[in-house]
Amino acid sequence: SFLGFDDCILYVACFDANGGLFEPLFGPEDAIISDSLNHASIIDGIRLCKAKRYRYQHSNMEDLEKCLQQADSDSANHKVIVSDGVFSMDGTYAKLDKIVELAEKYDALIMLDDCHATGFVGENGRGTAEHFGLEGKVDILTSTLGKALGGASGGFVCAKENVIKLLKQRSRPYLFSNALSPSIVSASLKALEIIKDEPERRERIKENTIYFRDSMKSLGFKIKGDMHPITPVMLGDAKKAQEMSKKLLEEGLYAIGFFYPVVPKGEARIRLQITSEHTKQQLEQAIKIFGKVGRELKVI
């Protein structure tokens, strides 16, 4: 009910939710149109089903429209546009407003993975659809209990009641795996209470994100993404990302370097995540360490 859907189904992780979603719902006569930078769990889930597959260039709405037109030319029965709500490596939002326009134009469903938005994006923390003012426009939503909703594990699918009933009957990760631990469910229910009762946490995460991103840019770092707590510090070179991560840790700052094949070649980075619980002093210290290491490595 928090996310405005009829029903939901719980999984041990959102990787399982995405992995068990497509095969029960879409067959050879259907078409799945997927963003090229969607999460690995979405890619794996799509591979497991027999629907026709189309991939559009990342957030390229012209290419998405071409894929929808091609699916119509191929006589697809049902079409579904699949996208991350927020792309996990870049901290960028899907162009949900444009996706909704195209879905309505071509009579397509929308499936959104909102793992990196649920609980803190939007006025009430309801995610990407609320951020765009498009609640009720997403047909199927997957997300996680492992980030803003408790931070441990667990995933879920939200949709209409008949869709959830079908998943409970046919989704293999749900049927043939363990149930989610009651302690995790309890922690996530408490997290939902906090989200509803303490909106100041969302204000803090916004303030912290703006402060950190702006401060890093002022030092000369290249920061990718929208104004989202996922903050990629772009370095380009994979060796440089590994070296920087090591030196940051030596200075007392734990930050992971990502490089190919996790991200495209030439787009190696340090990927940071800002939280509402980071203090101004902690952020200032992190920025100071980044400045020192960045100068040592001649990144800035």
Return the domain boundaries, the chain.
7-195, 200-296
Q: What is the pLDDT of residue 152?
A: 80
Q: What is the pLDDT of residue 209?
A: 97
Sites in the chain below the pLDDT cut of 70: none
Supply the CATH classification number for the domain 200-296: 3.90.1150.10
CA 31, 35, 41, 47: dihedral to nearest 10 degrees? 40
Any catalytic annotation for residue 131?
no
Q: What is the pLDDT of residue 43?
A: 97
Any catalytic annotation for residue 177?
no
List the catalytic residue out of 79, 116, 131, 240. 116
Q: What is the pLDDT of residue 159?
A: 98
Provide the CATH topology of domain 7-195: Aspartate Aminotransferase; domain 2 (3.40.640)
Which sign, positive or negative, has the C-alpha torsion 147, 19, 6, 170? negative
Any catalytic annotation for residue 78?
no
Radius of gyration over alpha carbons of the chain, in Å? Answer: 20
List the catalytic residue out of 79, 147, 240, 278. 147
List the catalytic residue out of 41, 59, 88, 245. 88
Q: What is the pLDDT of residue 1?
A: 87
The structure's pTM equals 0.94
